[in-house]
Structures are given as C-alpha cells and as structure tokens.
Chains A and B, each alone.
Chain A
C-alpha cells in the first residue's frame, strides 16, 4: 500500500533549488491526495534499513511535522487530522516506528523516538495507545535487548514523559517508567551510551515525576542516582546529571534540604576542578536556587502565608563558602569576552550568580565581597582589576541604599579614573558599573542620588563624554551610563535642570557616536540612538525645547539620506530598515515629548508637513510591509496635529490598510490599530470616509485564526475610538461589531484560570470589550441610542459575570463600572427596568465606592449618579 517516495525525499534535499521545489511540490501533492497512505509511506521509509539515511531522516521529520506544530491552532488541526486517519493505518505506522528503535542507524532511531513521542502526546491522553508503555518497558528491561535498543528506548521514554502528564497514566505505569529510567543510570549494569541516554531521559521526565518526588523513599533513590552519575567518569554523563540537578533545584526546591550538604560539595568540586561544561551547570544550580529564593522573598506575604512554600535560606546558609568560590571564578576571564555576545564562560556565569546571591541575601553580601574588591582593584594584573570591579558592580542591587551609598560615593572618583585604564576589559566593566550605579542609586525625583553636587555631575559627564570615543564595546557601555544618568532626571521637577547645561554636548556626542563606522555590528549605533531618546524624554522641556527642536532637522536629514542608500542585498535592505527604525524612533520620541505642552506642540505643527512627507517616503521604499517605527511616530504626529491630519489621509490611507493587513508581523498590525485610534481622536468625524475600509479590515483581523491573539484587544478598543469619533454613523457596523464583541465576551469565560499569561490576556480582552461598548454608547448618545437597546441586556450580563470573577483586574473593574454608567447615560429611562432587575449593580458600586483608588471611586460615583437619574425618571 505504501508508495515509493525515496526519490522525492532525496530530491527535496538537493542543492538545486528547482529540483528541490519540484520535489517538495510532489510530496505536497501526495500528502493532499491521500494522507493515510502518505503517512504510512513515510514510516515505511523511516523503518527500512535498506534506504539511505538522508531519505529516512527527512521521512521522519515530515512525519513528525504532520503531528505537531508550534502554533496552537495548526497543532490542533494536525491532531484532528491524525485522529481521523483510519485505525489500520495508524497501527501499522506505530508498529513501524517502534520497530525502528532497533535500527543500526542512529539517526533513524533518534527520529523515530521523536515521532513516537508525538503520537503518544495525542493518543495517550485519549487512552488510544495503551500498549505503548509496556512495549517500551520491555525493550529496556529484557536483558536480551541490544544496548542500542535500550538507549533509543530510554530516549523515547524521556520524550514521552515530556509530552504527556503523569496523570495520563496510572501510577503503576508512572512508577515503572521512572524505575526503568533511573535503573538505566546504574553504573554496574549498563554501558556508557545507555547510562547517558537514561540520565538525559530523567531530565525530560522530571516534571513527570511529581508524585515520586513527594515520596521520600523514591525521592532519596532518584537523588542518590543523580548524585552518583554526577561523579561519573564520562564528562557527558556528569554534565547531563548536573543539568538534572539544575532542573530539580527549581522544580523541587521545597524538598532539597536533606541533600544540600552533598549538593554543595558536588557543585563546589565541579566549579573548582571540572570541565567548563560541567562547572557552568554547577554554577547554574546555585543561580537557580537564588531565583527560587528571590521569588519567595518577592511574593512573601506573611499574613496569607499558608499556600506559600517554605523558604529554606539555602543561599544565606551557604554564602560564606559560596561567595569566595564565585569570586574565584571572576578571575577566569577570556581575552575577548567583551567583544562577542555569544560567549558564555565560567567567569560570566560566576559573576551572574554573584549578582543573584547579592539580591538574595542583601546587606550580608557586603563584608564577603568588599575585601576582595579592595585587595584586587589596584593590582597590576588586569584580570584582578577587572574581577574586583565586576565584584563591586555585582553587589549594587540587593543591599540597602543606606549601606551602598557611602561605598559608592567613596568609590565613584576611583571608577571615573579607571575609565582611563590601559585595559579594555577594565574600562568596559567600569563603564558598566557606572551605568548600574546610575540605574540603581541615582533617582533625584525621589530625592536621592549618589551624585551629591552639580560639580560631581560635571565631572561625571566630562569623563563619559570623553570615554564615549573609546573602543566600540566601551562606548556602548558608556551610552548605557548616560541613558541611566538621564533617566534619573525623568519627572524630577527642578532637578532636571541640572542636565540642561550639558544637553547640547550630550546630543552632539551621541549623534557622533551613532555615525561611527568602527563598530562590528550596529549595536553601538542603536545604543547611541536609544540613549538619545532617553535624554530627550527626560530633559526639562521648558528649558531645552530650543535645543531639541534643532535635533529635528538633524534627524530628518539622516532619515532622508537612508532613502538614497544603495540597496543590493537583503543585508543592505535590513541595515537600511534598522537605521530607519532608529531614526523614526527618535522623531517619535521628540514628537511625543513636544506634544505634551501647547508651546512646544506648535513646533511639531510647523514641521508636520515635512515630517509626514518623509514618513510617506519611508513607507514607499518598501513594497510589502509597512515600517513599524514610522507607524508609531505617525500616531504621535496625528495627536500633535489634530484635525489638520486630515490632509495626509488620502496618501497615508494605503499604508494604514497595509499595516492592518499585516497579520504575520503582528506587532506592526497591533501598532497600526493603535494609530487608527489616534487618528480617530485627531479627526473626529472627518475620518468617516475611511471607516468602511478600516472596519472591514478590523473585522477581518478579528475573525482571522492566523493573527496573534494579542492584537485582538486593541481592535475592540479601536471600535470604541471609531464609534466615539463618528457617532451615529457607526450604526451600520453595529451588527457585525457587536456580534464579535459578544463572542469575545463569551470566550472570556472559557479561558484557563491557571494559566497566568492567559488570565492577563483575558483581562485585556475584557477591558477592551468594555472600552468598545463605552465608545459606542457614548457615540450614540445624541442620536439613535435605541440601536444599542437590544444589546443592553447582554452587556449587563457580561458585567455581572466579570463582577463575579474574583480574579478580575483593577483596570477591568474601572472599565466595567464606567460602561455601566455609559449604558444608563446613553439609553436613559429605557434601561430603568434592566437596572431594576440588576441586583448586582448596587453591590458592585458599593465595592467600588469603598476602593482606595480615587479614580475608581470617582468613576463609581459618576455611574451611581447616572443610574440614579434613570431610576427616578
């Protein structure tokens, strides 16, 4: 029954694109003609030891991709597709892939292990493959099995455990699987390959072992085996075993106490003497413990404390030995580690862990680290100076400001001088330390800064503006330091004036840095522009608007130059895009900054024509996509220009449509939706001629299963924006829009409450649906309010549902209580009966009126007034 597909599979990997495309087309055709036969043919190919390894490998991959996809919607379709395949085909396929686990070709074994796991993920929860576990266990436990089979089967078990939940099997099966895996790690009985496979399988099965980890005896046994393999002769096994320990540290933190002594010895030996791959995992173990303890501390709520797992203070107990061990790692820098982002070595891992330890233990870290800093920072050897600086930097977050301030103030001048160190690493780390100091200990808006006087600031800026000319890696860190230095003055009232005298030279140096060509990649340039943005955002607008206004033509001319760039390759295109993004970003920040006051808004108004023209040219230089940053900037421009924006609409509308259609780059789509809202508020009913086009695209986007879900809430909010702008003219969209809103409201009720991310999304969705209702109701208030009457009941039911939801977010509450007032306001006496029947309203209002949130109280008060008016009418 199976077809001969070897040739297609080989051709699909040809170097010749034509051959490749044709073969892919052929395969697709076979798949569409008869899926079951196609899947069977793939598994026959995979199982056949006479076939070339290449065609078998691709057969396995295509088979696997027919069962699973990253995207949830595609995945669900594939699952349905597999379940609809005739059972006789499925049985044959399953037999074939299981048999392949014994193949002499390693790649075929590996691929079939993956395929088995994918089938298991569909069938085991449905109890459709009951014999799988037993047949895998037989492979491992039967002594006559070849070690190759055992190895492949253990790998398969690991993958299966990763795919399914332990609740999908009966506990006996769970136990048997884990026993098989853990016994596979046994030194006495098994070969190296089997033990490695078993250790890696355990890593994948750790989540699956929840029940077993609750049982002390079983847990002891598992931990004993892991600790033994952590001392195995073979480095790969040791590494796999430490990876298990890292995962156990975060998954089973609460049961680790009895093992900590052993684990400390194991990890410190590894850090001190083992191969780097193992040592990195050993450090990672402690970083993971820190992560757990930091999280426990952050969510420490003594009054509710019941459900919180216990804090075991492992780091506090271990710090006196742990910190010296980590400090030692800092001295193992590589020569070029600051030049290359992909490098990860023991000194970086150690430094990162040290920072986490500081955040975990707070003040106690200071006496453990400062002697190391003081002893090494003046040493002739650069590694010592760099390590000392790094160590100092790593304790800046964790201890209290009171403890840190004197240390930093005493060390600041030393650090500024170190920016002239002869060694690049030392300068790099020093600049980074300065940026951390400004990030953490420089906050004039809350009344504290380590920069004690205007003279200090002058000295600091003199050093930074000199060092920004240093090597690209150092210059990039200096940009970071300026970024955080400026950030401290955001919303800082009169103290933001302190930066004003330096603004011109800061901007000049940042622009010069952005123009540098000696950076290996564009990182320095983008850091410079990002820093420029922050400097603009945080400047004192009243004093600096003249200086910043001069920046507009400078940025515009740079942006205009990008349009002249020679574009030959896709790489050129990408570079052009990045540069345009950075420059549009700067313009956006300036526009937004200037829009905040009437005096400066006029500067934007005057330049609006030219800016808009430039943005349109930026859009035009791409054929299929619109530029996200330019779009973002246009939203800000629409706000600044107000109704004047209407004159740009005829030309701009095509790009707006393009943005709304870009469901692949969902960020672009989402931003465009936001810009529609900006334009609605700018144009009011002048947007009417464009509404048919916009609403059609928004409704299409909402019904699309392809579009990323995060775009949907903004679309609902946008309905409200449009309705508020065009008032009664929204009538024709009501049937479609309200249908979508009601469907989405229903969908909110079915979201998984245990999934935090999904709950977040649910809250956004609820809020946006309320915003849509608010805009529509207020839009109809003058005329045709009765159009909304048929939807009032449903809206109140939805509000009640949200009210009953105890996990509701404050912003949802606000939107819900406001929309209740809008309903009464817009529909007036017609809603009297509805509100009469609506017993929860009073309860809801009561709750809101008790709130500590002034805004919520006021909203609720307003709504109360609105409903009150309806009730006495």
Chain B
C-alpha cells in the first residue's frame, strides 16, 4: 500500500528560478508575438521609422504639398489595404509615405450634407501627424520634417515608467498645431494603442477620438512628462444647428475655414472628395491666395503641369485639362514635359458650362519654385475662382440643408453598415 504523500515541508519553499525563467521567456515571446501581429495589422511603426529615414529636403512652408497620386494607386478599397501594410509600407520611400488625408475644396454642396457629413471649425496652424511610440512623441509636418520631439501623456508617449513590452501601444493622430496657445488640436485619429483606424468610418474614428483621448490625460495642462496640450475639436453633425455652431461658435483657436467629413469615409491618404474644406472671410484670414508678402494677388494664379502633348493639367487623378501650349512656345521657352508652370488667369477668366470647365484664359508667368512638386488640384483652382467671382456663400450651405431637411421624410436606402 502506498503511504500517504507527505506534505512539503513548509520551511523549504523551493524557489524554482528555472521555471520562472521559462515563464518569463514565454511571457516575452507572447508579447513579441502580439506586437508582431499588431504591427502586421497596422502601420504605426512604419510611419515613425520611414519618415525618420526620409532624406527628402524640407520644402518651403506655404507650398502646397500633396502626395504623388501616381505612386499611391487608389483603386478603391482593395488597393487601400495594401497601402496600409507594413511590408508594403517598408518598400515605399520618403515622399510617398505621407499619410495625411487631404480635403478637396468645396466647389459645390454635396448631397445629403445634413445626413452624411460632419462639420467642424478648422484650427489655423500647422497640419501634422503625431506619433507616440516607445516612450516618445514626434510630430511631423506634411513634408516629413519634424516639428516637435517631446514627451506626452499619449499612450507610450513618454518615458514615465518602464516602457518595456508595451511597444505595441503606439498612436497616430492627425493634428493641427496652433502656435498661439501651443496646442495640438486633434482633428482625426488614425491609430490608437496599436490599432489601426484607417479602415474605420469617420463616425467610428471620431467616436473613438472623443472617448479615448480624454482618458489618457493628454488634454491636461503641460507638465514635465507632457510638453504640449492636446485638445479635441467640437465636431458637429452637419445639420442646421451644427453648421451654425461651427461657423459662429466661439472656439479657443483661430479658425481657418470649416472642414466637412463624410461619416462613412475611411481614412484615405491623399486628396479625397470625402473630406472638404470651405472658407469665407468670416471664418478664415486666408480666403484668397496671397503672395509671399501676404498681399492679395490682383489676379488668380494657378500652377499646372505641362504634359507630353503640350496640354496643361491639374494634379487630380484623372487630370483636368486647363488648356494647351503650342509647340513653338514650348520650344522657345525650353520647357519640358512634367514642368510645373505658373499662370495668371486673365480677364477672360474661366468659362464654365454646366459646372464644367470649358475654357481658361491663361497668361503664362514662368516656371515655379523648384521645391514645388505638384500642380494645383482642380477643386482648389475652382474654389479660388469662385471666391473672386461667385463665392459659395454660407447662406448657400444653410439653404442646401434646409432644402434637404424638407425632404427628410423621403425613404432612403442606405447601404452603409453602421
């Protein structure tokens, strides 16, 4: 008969360090596996590492920079996924790795504005992407140059504690840095604690932004471990009251126009018609383009790209043709295909038929500053043109809303999944 198993002597607790080492190793492996999988699910770290490796020269401030659309093939959703992958991203270089979503200019009022859109007052300042990771926070301007390198209360944004094992907690925020109150106004959330929000709707992203940012203490006043204050902006559903609130409401920052976001749009890098910017003198200091001295130009200027066939195009995809240079002129001025050329829009102006560009009275001024690498977008040219001639007024926006409110009771099919 087997004797009863004797109890372990209490006085000799075995500290099995080997077992502990095994367990700690397993724990480390589990963490790293999770990190690797999370990394595959989004691209936070690629934004950080790629841009720091970028050797792209810093462009002049004030120059409009948009991603090269030909290098980011946007065949709708399928290709989008690829852009977001780490492996793919690691093959991209410098200028192509700019990840901001850029609004088009509002040249007509979208349908269902009050149903499908958000609106908020855009803070004036430097648009930048803010990445918190590995105990530090970096903000970068659209051209890739570093604006600030600082500790913040964002997840993993400061070395306040031992940060080992929490590398997965990076965040990417789309912000505007507002000089006078030294505050980062967060206008979108791209990645939070390692989770990519690229493929989430604006509705979801804004909800997430509002519920998460506050929790971290990032909205608190600056401190040793938190150098700049972050602040969300008030985002309204674009109904009558929302539109009015964003237009007339007091905000702690200088406004630079209104931004409109389609609720169902994913975060799409580059120009998108699902985000729109609109401004007038009441809500922006910079409505009409100015020269380098801040003087309003007497005539509107546009930057267009010269193509093989002598045609002049915008930066859009597909391009919009504004005119044509004849071969002789090209030869005489020694211009080549791909050159960016600056024109005045002369007295003839832009002739529109049914809202479409028919003719542009262009007056050649010369080649543009070499730092400039993109032509103007169609919506920008049109918006500037309208501002000078038949601006889209705030009343028009309001009117379109009350018009659609009248039709509110109409049944409508929504194919969006909420």
Contacts and interface: CB of A to CB of B under 8 A. Distances in A.
Interface of A: 155, 158, 200, 203-204, 240, 243, 246-247, 280-281, 284, 287, 341, 344, 348-349, 351-352, 355, 390, 394, 429, 432, 480, 483, 491, 493, 526-527, 529-530, 533-534, 541, 581, 585, 588-589, 592, 596-597, 629, 632, 635-636, 639, 667, 671, 674, 677-678, 681, 717, 720-721, 724, 727, 771, 774-775, 778-779, 781-782, 818, 821-822, 825, 828-829, 854-855, 858-859, 861-862, 864-866, 868-869, 871-873
Interface string B11-25: 111010110011011
A670 to B, nearest CB: 9
B199 A866 contact: yes
Contacts of A526: 17
A671 B22 contact: yes
Contacts of B417: 868, 871-872
A782 B11 contact: no
Interface of B: 1, 3-4, 6-13, 15, 17-18, 21-22, 24-26, 28-29, 32-33, 36-37, 40-41, 77-78, 81-82, 85, 87-88, 161-162, 164-165, 192-193, 195-197, 199-201, 204, 208, 264, 266, 415-417
Contacts of A822: 41
A818 B81 contact: no
Contact of B164 (A355, A596, A828): A596
Contacts of B25: 588, 592, 632, 635-636, 671, 674
A527 B1 CA distance: 36
B53 to A, nearest CB: 16
A639 B4 contact: no
Nearest to A868: B417
Contacts of B37: 720, 724, 771, 774-775, 778, 818
Contacts of A629: 18, 21
Contacts of B197: 862, 865
Given A592-B25, A674-B29, A530 B415 contact: no
Contacts of A862: 41, 195-197, 200
The interface centre, meaning the residue of B26, B29, B266, B415 with most chain A CB atoms within 10 A of its CB, is: B29
Contact of A865 (B40, B85, B200): B200
B40 A781 contact: yes
Contact of B81 (A585, A781, A868): A781
A284 B10 CA distance: 13
A26 to B, nearest CB: 32
A717 B77 CA distance: 30
Contacts of A858: 192-193, 195
B266 A781 contact: no
B21 A246 contact: no
Given A287-B7, A828-B78, 12 more contacts: A155-B1, A203-B1, A344-B6, A526-B17, A596-B162, A639-B32, A724-B40, A771-B33, A825-B81, A868-B199, A871-B417, A872-B416
B11 A429 contact: yes
B266 A869 contact: yes
B208 A861 contact: yes
B202 to A, nearest CB: 11
Contact of B21 (A280, A341, A588, A781): A588
29 contacts: A158-B1, A344-B7, A352-B7, A352-B9, A352-B11, A394-B10, A533-B17, A588-B21, A592-B25, A596-B165, A632-B22, A632-B25, A674-B25, A674-B26, A674-B29, A677-B32, A681-B36, A721-B33, A771-B37, A775-B37, A778-B37, A779-B40, A828-B77, A862-B195, A862-B196, A862-B197, A868-B200, A868-B417, A872-B417
Contacts of B192: 858
A204 B1 contact: yes
A738 B319 CA distance: 47
A280 B87 CA distance: 66
B135 to A, nearest CB: 9
B136 to A, nearest CB: 11
B7 A349 contact: yes
A394 B11 CA distance: 9
B199 A869 contact: yes
A868 B165 CA distance: 30
A43 B162 CA distance: 68
Nearest to A781: B85
B264 A872 contact: yes
Given A480-B15, A592-B25, A778 B41 contact: yes
A677 B415 contact: no
A864 B207 CA distance: 14
B200 A351 contact: no
